[in-house]
Structure 1
Amino acid sequence: MKNITIADVAKHANVSKSTVSQYLNKRYDYMSEKTRKKIEETIKELNYQPNSVARSLKQKSTFTVGVVVANILHTFSTYIIRAIEDFFHEHDFQIIVCNADDEPEKERKYIEMLRAKQVDGILIFPTGGNLDLYEQMKDDEFPIVFMDRTIEHLGIDTVMLDNHLAARLAVDEFVRNGYSRIAIVTTSIIRNISPRVERIQGYRDALRSHGMEVNEAYIKTVDVGQISLALADLFQQTVPPQAILAGNDIVLVEVLKFMKENNKHIPKDVAVIGIDEVSFASFYTPSITTIAQPTKEMAKSAAERLLQQIRKEERPEELPIIQRFAPAMILRDSCAVK
């Protein structure tokens, strides 16, 4: 079968090739509704498939961006990916999603692969283990935006949560409900992953602001597989905690599993708040109080920053390198008044 070309579409629709090209690139400013309809019907009738390779060569763009997620199991990551995909779909871009599993070497391979495929830019949830690679991309003026995590001295555009405030909101709520022995559990901070480090610091600062001492035994940072052991250690303390702040959604799941397996009742035996909203929080028994991130707004900001770099648009003077979004408390029953 003959390959249908843009010239065939133009001839069949009785319009110029440039008009068809404008239609394909969604430039309808000076195009009548009748012409648009005629071209649309012709494309369907001829089963015309635009040549993406030719388009990429002509416009010097692959119309593709990469998204390298540190850990796709996080609910936050899934919500962000969906919102980013929606944004770029509206701008006629495709996305390639890669999951680094929090492994720097895997992240490196994905970044190198994406650059070899000549994607127009990359949005990264950095593992923190590839400083040389991040610096190289910046030196190359390659479009790059960090999401959720930052490495401040690199000066790379970053969109993330105000993690100090997230921890403070949780501690304030525990204190308001009469809890004084408050623990925090997060996943490993071996590579100083910023959200985890910042949430712990926010927790410390919030306790001190209430005149409470920080009990180091109540701070647990471990790999996911060790969370159950860390929780067991907390409850084996001479004076166990009355409340637990789960540092992210994965930790929250492990906390809830531990409570169920060890016949501990929330909030009667221990109050719980989780950072990151999860789908089951509202119908779990009891329903779980969470600190939610504004995922849609964060994703839009990150995607807009990346697109501005891709299009080489002038950076707005008021736009900070690191943009932090405020979290929101969703009050439910897991931190009831004692």
Structure 2
Amino acid sequence: MPARSSRHATLLEVAREANASKTSVSRYFSGERERLSPALQRRIGEAARQLGYRPNQMARGLKGGRSRLLGMLVADIRNPYSVAVMHGVEQACRERGLSLLVANTDNDPAQERTHLALLTSYRVEGLVINAAGSPTHELQDLAEQGLPLVLLDRWLEELDADRVGLDNALAVDMAIDHLSAQGYRHLLFLSEPVGQASPRQQRWQRFEQRLADEPALNGERHDPPLDGEAVQQVVGDFLARANRPAALLCANGNVTLAATRALQALGIRLGEVGLLGIDELDWCGLVPPGITTLAQPTEAIGRAAVQQLQARLDDSGSTLPPRRTLFPPTLNERGSTRLTTFDKAPDNHSENAKETP
């Protein structure tokens, strides 16, 4: 039988078409299909397909049922990291029959509070929070009302909530270990202005700790505004002081781009000065000789956030302690951290020593 087109088919029409009660049809679309016989499930499913029926999730939520909606608050939707993680969140929602509402705050705490109120007005069943400011009180109120929360990437230390993100201390350790193994001894850690962003704080602090623990390494850290002149000035001043070989360690993808532009403006080739960035971006493999990165498992991070929300929803009313899920990065080694020949110490043991090709 050819499918009939009806943009406004109702639950009652599906019930009539399937020769079923409204209650049975409601159960079919509210996650209680197991209470219906296989034959009845088939009839309802076929009737809904023929009529083009789609359940109104919002209306069901307002009636006191589950809305099947999750909310996600993003600090900066233009950030490639945010987009990649959001894809993982959306994929995990789709697999679970959930829908995702996303709000972008543009790193504005006022917008953050507004969007939090907006998302909760839609009766979302849980929230993934990539915080821009410090909405601890607002989130604490929501948690006390029983709304599951997962903090993504940025922590709020006063809030007892599940957390998912990168193992920032491990990322800095891997970066320093790689640069040190390649022969770089003088390091500049570049970050966006640290402020209240916990990942930046954690990476900054771990860098300082490693320098304190390893006297053979020299290092500096700066968090200039990411405009071309400021970054170029910081990099130029560092290289004027630093003993070669020297390298730049960039705290995220935005900084990696700014540092690459600064080196180009200074006429310095990658490898002549090392460059390693936390976060893998598409263009990093395209800039000769390629930029070494530590890639975050963004899809896994997004999926883990949804998994933790789902676990909270499945254990409604439980008193499980907050969980912290940290992921390791993956090193993508490229030419930007391979010392070029002219940086290596010459062999002075032989008057006839030749330059290695």
TM-score interval for Structure 1 and Structure 2 normalised by the shorter chain:
0.7 to 0.9
Which residue of structure 2 lines up, in the alignment, with residue 251 of structure 1? 255
Q: Counterpart amino acid of 1:194?
A: S
TM superposition shift of 1:171:
1.0
Q: Does 1:176 align with 2:181?
A: yes
Q: Does 1:230 align with 2:234?
A: no
TM superposition shift of 1:195:
0.7
Q: Which of 261, 266, 269 pairs up with 1:262?
A: 266
Residues 303 and 316 of structure 1: CA distance in aligned 2, closer, same or farther (over 3 Å): farther
Residues 313 and 32 of structure 1: CA distance in aligned 2, closer, same or farther (over 3 Å): same
Q: Does 1:51 align with 2:61?
A: no
Residues 23 and 138 of structure 1: CA distance in aligned 2, closer, same or farther (over 3 Å): closer
Q: Counterpart amino acid of 1:42?
A: A
Q: Counterpart amino acid of 1:68?
A: L
Which residue of structure 1 lines up, in the alignment, with residue 69 of structure 2? 64
Q: Deviations over 1:64-119 (max 9, x none)?
A: 22211112222221111011111112222221211222221121111122223332
Which residue of structure 1 lines up, in the alignment, with residue 221 of structure 2? 219
Q: Does 1:274 align with 2:266?
A: no
Residues 255 and 66 of structure 1: CA distance in aligned 2, closer, same or farther (over 3 Å): same
**Alignment check: 8 A CA contact 1:228 1:255 kept:** no
Q: Which of 313, 316, 324 pairs up with 1:313?
A: 316
Aligned with 2:283: secondary structure?
A: coil
Q: State the alpha-carbon separation in 2 of the partners of residues 153 and 26 from structure 1.
A: 36
**Alignment check: 8 A CA contact 1:172 1:206 kept:** no
Which residue of structure 2 lines up, in the alignment, with residue 200 of structure 1? 204
Identify the range of structure 1 (77-86 vs 33-42) with the bigger mean alpha-carbon deviation: 33-42
Q: Counterpart amino acid of 2:167?
A: D
Q: State the alpha-carbon separation in 2 of the partners of residues 14 and 117 from structure 1.
A: 33
Which residue of structure 2 lines up, in the alignment, with residue 14 of structure 1? 19
Q: Does 1:99 align with 2:100?
A: no
Aligned with 1:158: secondary structure?
A: strand
TM superposition shift of 1:2:
10
Identify the range of structure 1 (180-189 vs 151-160) with the bigger mean alpha-carbon deviation: 151-160
Which residue of structure 2 lines up, in the alignment, with residue 134 of structure 1? 139
Which residue of structure 1 lines up, in the alignment, with residue 344 of structure 2? none
Q: State the alpha-carbon separation in 2 of the partners of residues 26 and 33 from structure 1.
A: 14
**Alignment check: 8 A CA contact 1:20 1:39 kept:** yes
TM superposition shift of 1:214:
4.9
Q: Counterpart amino acid of 2:328?
A: A
| TM-score calculated relative to the size of structure 2 | 0.83
TM superposition shift of 1:328:
1.9
Which residue of structure 2 lines up, in the alignment, with residue 77 of structure 1? 82
Q: Which runs of 5+ in 2 are unaligned?
A: 1-5, 341-357
Q: State the alpha-carbon separation in 1 of the partners of residues 39 and 149 from structure 2.
A: 41
Aligned with 1:224: secondary structure?
A: coil
Q: Does 1:156 align with 2:161?
A: yes
Q: State the alpha-carbon separation in 1 of the partners of residues 338 and 208 from structure 2.
A: 22
Q: State the alpha-carbon separation in 2 of the partners of residues 236 and 321 from structure 1.
A: 43
Q: State the alpha-carbon separation in 2 of the partners of residues 148 and 294 from structure 1.
A: 12
Residues 4 and 234 of structure 1: CA distance in aligned 2, closer, same or farther (over 3 Å): closer
Q: Does 1:42 align with 2:47?
A: yes
Q: Does 1:284 align with 2:276?
A: no
Aligned with 1:152: secondary structure?
A: coil
Q: Which runs of 5+ in 1 are unaligned?
A: none
Q: State the alpha-carbon separation in 2 of the partners of residues 258 and 61 from structure 1.
A: 52
Which residue of structure 1 lines up, in the alignment, with residue 343 of structure 2? none
Residues 26 and 63 of structure 1: CA distance in aligned 2, closer, same or farther (over 3 Å): closer
Q: Counterpart amino acid of 2:29?
A: L
Q: State the alpha-carbon separation in 2 of the partners of residues 115 and 326 from structure 1.
A: 32
Q: Does 1:297 align with 2:303?
A: no
TM superposition shift of 1:264:
1.7
